[in-house]
Amino acid sequence: MATTEIRFSGSGGQGLLLSARIMAAALAGAGRTVAQSNAYEPVSRGGLSRSDLVVSDGEADYPLARRLDYLLILDDAAARASDGLLGAHSLVLVDAERVTTVPEGPFRALRLPFTETARNLGNPRVTNIVALGALTALSGLCPPEPLLASILAMTPAKLERLNQNAFAAGLTMAVAEVA
């Protein structure tokens, strides 16, 4: 049974664990089995942080990531932390502003303006939602609608419009990258 492994990585305070929970909820709602694991340094902001999803159509044979299909890096703190889990099949998405050390290898790596886009929308704190939109479009793991529903269900109502715009901007960014 095929599994898909996804890692959200960066530094504490970037909403990585929330992004992973949002995607896990959307995938579980679509009938997929999802195992999530988190790791972070014992500082509230700035330390290495990551959340992994192992996704399967049946039971996942192992709940921890061993070979990443998708890697999202939002901060230089995580730039080299996943090198041993990447292969030719991997897609690596990095924030063009906050990641200066882009992993190199036989995989595809894209530098995308996640932070810049979030700032242009009025709040850099939605960088994770912009990145989630791009990951959604590029991975094809789940249609955008269930992910947007998860975003709206798991974030404050007062940020609904901002999160909708951030997710849409990420989707658009990815479509432009593929074209």
Instruction: Give tens-digit pLDDT for 49-78.
Output: 999 999 998 887 778 889 999 999 999 999
- Domain spans of the chain? 3-178
CA–CA distance from 92 to each of 105, 134, 141, 143 (Å)? 10, 11, 15, 20
Residue type, 142: C
Using DSSP, state whether 143 is helix, strand or coil: coil
Q: What stretches of 74-114 adopt beta strand conformation (E)? A: 91-95, 108-112
In the predicted structure, residue 41 carries a pLDDT above the cut 70: yes
pLDDT of 176 reads: 81
Residue type, 99: V
CB 168 within 8 A of CB 133: yes
Instruction: Give tens-digit pLDDT for 127-168.
Output: 999 999 999 999 999 999 999 999 999 999 999 999 999 999
**CATH for the 3-178 domain, from 3.40.640.10, 3.40.920.10, 3.30.470.10, 3.40.630.30:** 3.40.920.10
Using DSSP, state whether 178 is helix, strand or coil: helix
Beta bridge partners of 6: 53, 70
Token pair, residue 110, equals: 């894209």
DSSP 8-class letter at 67: S
